Structure formats: C-alpha cells, structure tokens
C-alpha cells in the first residue's frame, strides 16, 4: 500500500467518522459499523490509528484545522473592517447552521460527551478552541487599531466571550431545534462589539 492510499484511507475514515459522530456521538460510533460504512477491512483500523481515542483526537484536530482555516480565510479575504468581518462570519455561521438543522458542529456535539472520558480528546478540543479564540482576538485587536471597535474592550477576553457565547447558543439551538438562540447571540455580539 503506497503513502497516497494510506493517507486517502485515513482521511476517508476520519470523514466517515465525523458524519457518524454528528449523528450519534463518539461513544455511539461503533468501530465495526464505521469500518463497514467506510468500506475498509475490519482488521485495518489499527494500521491507521493506535486506538479509538487516538482516532478521536485525529478527528478533532482535522475538524478544528478546517474550521480555523475557514475562519482565517474569511477574516483575511472579506471586505469591510475587522469588526464587520467578525460579525459577518457569525452571520454566515448562523445561515450554515440553519441549513444543517443545527447539527453540524462537531465541537458542540462532542464537548460535553468526551471531556470527562478522554484527557487526550479534551486537550484536542481545548487546543482547537484556543486557536480559534486567538484568531478572533487578533481580528478584534486589529478592529481596535482601525477605530471600529472600542479600545476599552480587552480583545482577548472579548474573543473568548464571543466564542463561548456562540458555542452555548449553538448547543441551545440544537436542543431547541430553533434558530432563536443563535439570532439572539448575534444580536448581543453586535452590542458587545461596540465602536
């Protein structure tokens, strides 16, 4: 088996697992069922991952890397002030969640489930969210330099608040199957990110 096939199979397993986890959670995802769905031979899982926990870490790292790339690209490529870009990013996140019936966020799905069960997966969640918060903080600091965000705000603290606010609103929208918590969160973000 060449390296390209190995990488492709690994990515295929991670992609298939992410869809399973969004539906059933990490603990509800059986490896045999995953391998059958991915059409990968039963005995080959451990060629790619030493354990289900290591597999979960790899899945979270992959998810957060994509999310971080998407956030960075959005903030760097869209028009308007950094403040407007942050708010527009969350507006588009609202639209995306509406299209995915409030069930497309792996960090929302797995945060409460795995944090007490796997230190390695908790660390992957923490590292991924910290990277996103740091990117938001840099954008907010730039907005302050542009004069579009109050200099009284602590950009690092504000970024953490916004991230936490959105994570909670995403979870509540998932519970309610309703967009209202996300709409309210976006409204409050506009107030928090005052000029």
**Beta carbons within 10 angstroms of residue 135's beta carbon:** 19
C-beta separation of 144 from 151 below 8 A: yes
Q: What is the pLDDT of residue 2?
A: 41
- Tens digit of pLDDT for each residue in 72-91? 999 998 888 999 999 999 99
Residue carrying structure tokens 């039963």: 42
Q: How many whole angstroms separate alpha carbon 176 and alpha carbon 184? A: 13
**What does each C-alpha distance from 72 to 8, 69, 183 come to in angstroms?**
25, 5, 23
Q: Tell me the pTM.
A: 0.88
Tell me the domains of the chain and their CATH numbers.
1-48 (1.10.10.60), 56-192 (1.10.357.10)
Q: What is the pLDDT of residue 174?
A: 84
- Tens digit of pLDDT for each residue in 96-130? 887 776 666 888 888 888 888 899 999 999 999 99
**What does each C-alpha distance from 157 to 17, 134, 152, 154 come to in angstroms?**
34, 10, 12, 5
131 burial level (CB within 10 Å; 0-12, 13-18, 19+): middle
Q: What is the pLDDT of residue 180?
A: 92
């Amino acid at each position: 088996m060449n390296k390209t096939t190995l990488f492709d199979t690994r990515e295929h397993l991670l992609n298939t697992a992410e869809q399973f986890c969004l539906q059933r959670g990490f603990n509800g995802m059986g490896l045999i069922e995953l391998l059958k769905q991915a059409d990968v031979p039963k005995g080959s899982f451990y060629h790619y991952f030493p354990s289900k926990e290591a597999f979960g870490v790899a899945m979270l790292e992959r998810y957060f890397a994509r999310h971080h790339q998407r956030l960075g690209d959005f903030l760097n490529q869209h028009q308007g002030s950094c403040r407007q870009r942050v708010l527009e990013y969350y507006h588009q996140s609202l639209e995306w969640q509406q299209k995915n019936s409030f069930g497309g966020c792996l960090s929302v799905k797995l945060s409460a489930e795995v944090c007490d069960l796997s230190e390695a997966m908790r660390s992957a969640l923490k590292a991924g969210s910290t990277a996103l918060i740091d990117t938001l903080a840099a954008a907010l600091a730039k907005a302050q330099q542009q004069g579009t965000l109050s200099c009284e705000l602590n950009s690092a603290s504000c970024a953490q608040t916004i991230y936490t606010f959105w994570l909670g609103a995403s979870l509540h929208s998932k519970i309610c199957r309703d967009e209202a918590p996300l709409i309210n969160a976006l409204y409050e973000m506009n107030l928090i990110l005052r000029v």
